[in-house]
Chains A and B, each alone.
Chain A
Amino acid sequence: DAKTTQPTSMDCAEGRAANLPCNHSTISGNEYVYWYRQIHSQGPQYIIHGLKNNETNEMASLIITEDRKSSTLILPHATLRDTAVYYCIVRVAAGNQFYFGTGTSLTVIP
């Protein structure tokens, strides 16, 4: 079962930062937060993951609160190609399972 909750949809102006929130209040101490996105008719694509510290890569930044009960994915300069459904996932430590919720549909507006 999904252990995360996300807003159903969001809009963002092209060139602006997109901030996608996620709640994972029941996360365990050794469980990672992963973010994937899914562009229409494609398989999900890995974006970033983290445990406690904030993380940054070439695609995005991940901000995790100190109590680890929520996180925010930041796309610093959204483009039209970032229009997709974004999934926040808590990876179960023991069994290596990834449980997806319903995700946030992000629309980048010109």
Chain B
Amino acid sequence: EAGVAQSPRYKIIEKRQSVAFWCNPISGHATLYWYQQILGQGPKLLIQFQNNGVVDDSQLPKDRFSAERLKGVDSTLKIQPAKLEDSAVYLCASHPWTGVYQETQYFGPGTRLLVL
């Protein structure tokens, strides 16, 4: 079974530029998460999708961050304009959400963003 795919793996931009990250979840997984992980900290949930609808985006800085999951499969996370403090690893995870509480989430390798 293929895992969660993310691209690019690394990105360097200057502040005030725009950047986009892409995630392809495990096939059939209804729930998709984007996390931000700043160096030395645990992953912070930014947004959660159930199919193509947003379940939780309470921690997403909506003035500069946006995310979409068209057709309920792939997702993109965009930052516009980027700030220095956005330097972090952006992790995508997916979850089958079959209604069975035992299921867990699976993470991709992450995209490492450096804002100069």
Contacts and interface: CB of A to CB of B under 8 A. Distances in A.
A98 B109 contact: no
Interface of B: 4, 31, 33, 35, 40-45, 48, 50, 55-56, 91, 93, 95, 97, 101-102, 104-110
Interface in A53-110: 85, 87, 93, 95-103
B55 A43 contact: no
Interface of A: 2, 32, 34, 42-46, 49, 85, 87, 93, 95-103
A100 B42 contact: yes
A42 B104 CA distance: 17
Contacts of B108: 43
Contacts of B43: 44, 100
B108 to A, nearest CB: 6
Given A32-B101, A49-B104, A95-B55, 19 more contacts: A2-B42, A42-B110, A43-B4, A43-B91, A43-B93, A44-B93, A46-B104, A85-B42, A95-B48, A96-B31, A96-B95, A97-B45, A97-B48, A98-B33, A98-B45, A100-B35, A100-B44, A100-B45, A102-B40
